[in-house]
Amino acid sequence: MKKILSISVGSSARDHTTRHVFLGQECELSRQGTDGDFEKAVQRYRDMDGKVDAFGIGGVEFFIKVADKRYYMRDVKRIRNAIKISKAGDGNGVKGLLERRAFLALEKHLNTQGKTLRGLPALQTTAVERYGMGVAMVDSGLDVTFGDFMFALGIPLPVKKLSTVRMLASALLPVVTQLPFSWLYPLGSEQDKDPQKRWQEYYQRAQVIAGDFLQIRQYMPDDLSGKIIVTNTTTAKNVEELRKRNLHILVTVTPRLEGRSFGTNVMEATLLALMDKPQSSVTDADFLDLIERIPLEPNLEVLN
């Protein structure tokens, strides 16, 4: 049995372990949160290195990729340096592939009802963090508002072009990536706080809302009637929360296993564990081949 362990600096309330068979190989997928304790996470990677086939790097990323540029996170290098034996995936290897497949699946679903994504108003919380998702949204014909200034900096300035996102990334990320990660992203119990009412006009205008789920949830309104959310990790509790808000469709870019959609870091780690080759020689084509053979499909659920 292949063992895949995602150690996250996020809340332990989102922990989950399940077993699933991929291409005839049984895999144990486990997510363990450290409630915002970065030191504890680094030590756990050291302790479990070589005892699991692959790590999912949860709640953080080795780098942020915007177009063809990579901006490496200073804090997260400590995790990379703690892992000597096991393979490790932070999601960057598969995120763009899975996000594009999610929007293609959503378009196909809407087409069966005589509808399309083209022209629909949409909100992406931060395109700098998920640039591949932003590209997929634009390519699908959505009228996208990028909320990077709002959700990352608290500045009421919507962005309408990916070229502006690239300029923002080149100006800010060389500095931002050197800051403590806890300054940039909610960790531990911060992830479980009730949503605050902010940027409501942008939520209300959008028919499609996409991005990191914790960012979406942070300011989401009480009424999501008729709206579609495309996101990453959601628990059964999150799904019920969205159902009560009357959300129409929930799409997660990874499949739901026992009521829980795991993050792209877990899916990347699983694919790495299934590959009989050194991680250093793994290519995008290798990832895409496995994704299509499994197949690793997005989860689309009509809630209301």
Chain-wide mean pLDDT for the chain?
A: 92
Phi-psi map region of 108: left, alpha, beta (phi>0 left; psi -120 to 50 alpha): alpha
Residue 188 has pLDDT above 90, yes or no: no
Residue 263 has pLDDT above 90, yes or no: no
Residue 152 has pLDDT above 80, yes or no: yes
| Whole-number pLDDT of residue 205 | 97
| Whole-number pLDDT of residue 190 | 57
pTM above 0.85, yes or no: yes
Domain ranges of the chain: 2-90+263-296, 95-256
Residue 2 has pLDDT above 70, yes or no: yes
Q: How confident is the model at residue 194 (pLDDT cuts 50, 70, 90)?
A: confident
| Whole-number pLDDT of residue 123 | 98
What is the spatial distance between Cα 242 and Cα 51, in angstroms, rounded to a whole number?
37
For 276-302, how does the pLDDT look when each residue is reduced to its tens digit (9 = 90+)? 999 999 999 999 999 999 999 999 999
Find all residues with CB under 8 Å of 251, minimum gap 6, and list them: 102, 105, 106, 228, 229, 230, 231, 298, 299, 300, 301
User: Residue range 167-183: average pLDDT?
Assistant: 85
Q: How confident is the model at residue 207 (pLDDT cuts 50, 70, 90)?
A: very high
| Whole-number pLDDT of residue 192 | 65
| Whole-number pLDDT of residue 30 | 94
Residue 191 has pLDDT above 70, yes or no: no
User: Residue range 227-249: average pLDDT?
Assistant: 94
Q: How confident is the model at residue 193 (pLDDT cuts 50, 70, 90)?
A: confident
User: Residue range 4-33: average pLDDT?
Assistant: 91
Q: How confident is the model at residue 120 (pLDDT cuts 50, 70, 90)?
A: very high
User: Residue range 155-161: average pLDDT?
Assistant: 95
User: Residue range 191-213: average pLDDT?
Assistant: 91
DSSP 224-256: -BT-EEEES-B-HHHHHHHHHTTBSEEEESS-E
User: Residue range 92-109: average pLDDT?
Assistant: 96
What is the spatial distance between Cα 123 and Cα 231, in angstroms, rounded to a whole number?
12
Residue with the bigger pLDDT between 189 and 240: it is 240
| Whole-number pLDDT of residue 182 | 64
| Whole-number pLDDT of residue 257 | 80
Residue 189 has pLDDT above 60, yes or no: no
Residue 51 has pLDDT above 80, yes or no: yes
Residue with the bigger pLDDT between 70 and 15: it is 70
Coil, strand or helix at 66: strand
Q: Find the helix packing angle between 95-111 and 131-139, rounded to 10°.
A: 30
Q: Which CATH number fits domain 95-256: 3.30.870, 3.40.50, 3.30.43, 2.60.40?
A: 3.40.50
Contact 298, 252 (CB under 8 A): yes
What is the spatial distance between Cα 298 and Cα 24, in angstroms, rounded to a whole number?
20
Q: What whole-number percentage of the chain has pLDDT above 70?
A: 95
| Whole-number pLDDT of residue 13 | 81
Judge if the upstream peptide bond of residue 295 is cis by omega within 30 degrees of 0: yes
What is the spatial distance between Cα 22 and Cα 145, in angstroms, rounded to a whole number?
37
Dihedral sign, CA of 178, 180, 182, 183? negative
| Whole-number pLDDT of residue 236 | 86
